[in-house]
Amino acid sequence: MTLFKKTITFLQIAGLAIITVLLALGIIFFFPKFTNAPIQPAPSADPIAISPVVLDTLSPGDYVRPSQAITGTTPGFWFFEASFPVTLRDINGNDLVTFIAKTDEDWMVTKNVQFSFTLPDTFSYTGPGFIYLKKDDPSDGEAPFNPTTDELTIPVIFENN
């Protein structure tokens, strides 16, 4: 084989390699734009926040009665002076009564703390409604508030005895 034939063979192989690379790049960069394939969004760097309240004696949709005791856990930062507010609301979101949930544990911690509250002796409303728990805010609204992690609304049915 002469030097000339070797050069031609090399150029043919190199040309085929270049064409193959260009076709692959064209498929990678341009083909997805011409399809109806959904584009996956980039994963969010922020995790989805979930309410940190865990109720032991109440589930969404439960019937609640006057003087019923409710217990659960939530992180200590929900409390101020060992309490946080609880509000009963009717189906339209109107406040019926507000009272406090309390803890007997050390609440100045970040770990979960046991709390309890007792519903009022009577309800002025009977039917579907909500129990609204909210992280106590001693700053009167100056501190940042995240509705996803700093409050919890539980749908319930108020039942008078």
pLDDT tens profile 97-154: 999 999 999 999 888 999 999 999 988 889 999 999 998 888 877 777 776 778 899 9
81 vs 6, which has greater pLDDT?
81
Say yes or no to pLDDT of 3 above 70. Answer: no
Strand partners, 134: 151
Confidence class for position 48, pLDDT limits 50, 70, 90: very low
**How many percent of the chain have pLDDT more than 90?**
40
Q: How far apart are CA 161 and CA 139, in angstroms?
A: 39
Task: Check if the beta carbon of residue 154 is closer than 8 Å to that of residue 60.
Answer: yes
Q: How far apart are CA 112 and CA 135, in angstroms?
A: 13
Angle at 89 between CA 91 and CA 147, to 5 degrees: 100
* Whole-prediction pTM: 0.65
pLDDT at 61: 92
